[in-house]
Amino acid sequence: MDSLLDFDTVLARSDGDREALQVVAQLFLEEFPGLLTEIRRAIGSRDAKALQHWAHNLKGAVSNFSPVCAAPLMELELMAGRGRTEGAEAFLRAAEEYLEVLSGEMLVFLVPTP
């Protein structure tokens, strides 16, 4: 799999502020597992409204780092917006696979700069 994180683009979006990126990356890495848990819970209970809410939140957070990772979350949000939860597990699995890779790649933001 190619890199999901375009470091140069993300750094440029922050005007080169690596310290700000460290904070944002740390917050994301701490928060995304909980958001995934909420998405799983919404799928399990077939709660389309909650699924739409949590998928939207995670999509917004992840899109700062990788539009590719945001794609399955966007699909979850759209399907839930139409009141559907059937088939959501496949999009969740795709998002989880991407997030596993992306979270590893994001560690570069947590390395202190000299």
Total structural domains within the chain: 1
Structural domain span for residue 36? 7-108
The pTM of this model reads 0.88
Q: Taking each helix axis from N to C terminus, what angle separates 48-63 and 88-105, rounded to the nearest 10 degrees?
A: 30
Report CA-CA distances (Å) from 15 to 9, 21, 67, 88, 106: 10, 10, 19, 36, 18
In a domain, 13, yes or no: yes
* CB distance 41 to 53 below 8 Å: no
**The domain spanning residue 21 has which CATH number?**
1.20.120
Residue pLDDT, tens place only, 55-99 = 999 999 999 888 899 999 999 999 999 999 999 999 999 999 999
In a domain, 61, yes or no: yes
In a domain, 114, yes or no: no
